[in-house]
Each structure stands twice: as structure tokens, then as C-alpha cells.
Amino acid sequence: MEKLTPARRLLLLVALVLLIFNPEVSWHSQGNLHVVSVDFRLLGGLLLFLLLILEVADRVVMKRDLQIAREIQGWLLPNVPPAIPGIEIAFQTRPANTVAGDYYDVFARPGRTPEDKRVLVAVADVAGKSIPAALLMATFQASLRTLSVTHSSLPELVTSINQYACTNSQGGLRFTTAFLSELDPSTGTLTYINAGHNAPMLCRKSGALERLDAGGLPIGIKADAGYESGSVVLAPGDWLVIFTDGVVEAMNTRGDEYGEPRLLANIATAANVSPTEMMSHIMSELDRFVGNTPQHDDVTCLLLKVV
């Protein structure tokens, strides 16, 4: 009832009255009383059928608009990773609905000098699902791309994005968790900020595991929030695994979550392959684990390997 327009609510109410109460109508003629009963249930059924046609027509138009929105959203995300010397990258996303609230990106960012070339690696997850999350994801992408052309440091960049996001977050209700990092390919130094996101896992060639959790609050909650940056040096053979909660919280038919241990086990068993092959392996294992359980959240994963 809440999703119907006032006119359609009235139409539904009239149809239900006719179907349930089925009032009788009688006519009187001179000398004799003639009672003619009219079955209004047929009229009530026709009104319900008309209401159903109107609602289906709206759904068809909405589905077409959502397909267009999905195409536009696909334009905002990279199709192939950029070529970076000594670095291999793979990414994949699976929306739970027609449009998604997950975001990932890899693009070059100018440094403080012409010779200083950086690569920005980002993965974000907007709170919520479907159209509202997709709209905020597009806003986040636009602000990140626009502000990244400046020569500001990573903490300054994230602070500016957060201040802008707070003007459109409905008092912090529409926040975004994000992992934003800046890679210097010449030295392998990765400077990062984790804004309330699932901590990415840095899997060293030696088998050691590091979680990149330095940062602050999710973006869009508090305008004056401060963000602490962390820094690690990537070495040949290291893997960086960035993901959204849709990966580790995917459930099977028994209600068990996929979890980080399974994700780590998949990476350990195929550490000598390329990120593209690793991504295919992870998604296949995730599908095998989930089975026929419907996907309840967007799934996004980004893999970075130093070669």
C-alpha cells in the first residue's frame, strides 16, 4: 500500500470492497417488487487486473532505466588495469542487484614533480544497496577523480573527499567505507588510508601476513574527521588483496560465511599464478562455496602482485 500512488490506493480499496462485500442492487417496478442481484466481484476483479497492468508497466519502464543506469555505471569503472612496470593487477565485481554500490579504480596521479609518478588504487563500498548506493558511488567516483588531479598528499585528498561527502550523506546515514592508496612504482612504496573498510591483506612472499588498517572513520560520517596514513614497501612476490565485505560475508545454504581464512587459503595455494588466474580461481571457489544461495551483497575484489 505504501508503494502505491494515492489514486491507485483508492482503486485497490474499491476493488477489495467489491470483492469482499459484493453489495446487492434492487429495482422496483409498479405493482410488483423485482429484485435483481448484480455480482460486483467481476468488476472488483477487473479493477485489480487494471491495477496489476499499471504496476507491471511501471516495472518494465523501471527495469529499462536500471539497465541504462548499469551501462552508465560500467563506464565509471575501468575495464582493464593500466600497465605498470613490475606490477600486475586484476579486479572483478559482481553486483547483487542491477546496479551496485561497490567501486574500484586504478589510475595514474600526478606527483609533486613531473618525474614523480604515482598510481592511485581505490576500493570502496557505499552503505546500502541498489539505486541510492549506486548514485552515491557515482558521486564518490567523481569527487575522487576530480580531487586527484591536485598535488595534495593522500591524507589531504581523503580529507577533502570526506568533507564533500558529508554534505550529501544525510547526517552520516549514507557513508562509504574505502581503502585509498598511492603506489610509487619506482620504489614499491604504498602509502594508504583505510577509511573504515575491510582491512586489505598484504601476503608476503615469505608467508607473513600484514593487515593494512591505518586510517580513520568511514567517509561521510564526520566532516572534521582526521585520517592517519600508513606505509608499506612491496617486494617481488608480494600479494595485496583488497576486497569488500560481500566477499568474506558470502553465505552458503547452511548459513556459513566464506570468511577471510578461506580467501587466504586460496591465495596460498595458487601464489605462483598471475592475478588474472588468481581472480578466476577465487571467484570459482566462491561460487562453489555459495552454491545456490542468492547473492545478498555486492562482491568486489582487487588483486595486486609485485613481479
Q: Is the pLDDT of residue 33 over 60?
A: no
- Report CA-CA distances (Å) from 256 to 135, 182, 262, 269, 295: 31, 35, 12, 22, 13
pTM check: above 0.95: no
pLDDT confidence band for 36 (50 / 70 / 90)? low
Q: Is the pLDDT of residue 285 over 70?
A: yes
Contacts of 198 (CB under 8 A, 6+ apart): 177, 179, 243, 244, 245, 248
- Share the mean pLDDT of the chain: 86
Q: Which residue has the higher pLDDT, 3 or 157?
A: 157
Average pLDDT over residues 53-70: 80
Domains and CATH numbers, the chain: 6-70 (no CATH), 78-306 (3.60.40.10)
- How much is the pLDDT for 37? 60
- How much is the pLDDT for 23? 62
Give the DSSP letter string of 73-136: HHHHS-SSPPPBTTEEEEEEEE-SSSS-SEEEEEEEEE-SSTT-EEEEEEEEEESS-HHHHHHH
- How much is the pLDDT for 282? 92
- How much is the pLDDT for 234? 94
Q: Is the pLDDT of residue 238 over 80?
A: yes
Contact 195, 159 (CB under 8 A): no
User: Over the stretch 14-29, which tens digit does the pLDDT of each residue have?
Assistant: 888 888 876 665 555 5
SS (H, E, C) 221-260: CCCCCCCCCEEEECCCCCEEEEECHHHHCCECCCCCECHH
Q: Is the pLDDT of residue 66 over 80?
A: no
- Nearest CA to 77 out of 102, 96, 98 is that of 102
User: Over the stretch 96-128, which tens digit does the pLDDT of each residue have?
Assistant: 887 778 999 999 987 666 667 789 999 999 987
pLDDT confidence band for 34 (50 / 70 / 90)? low
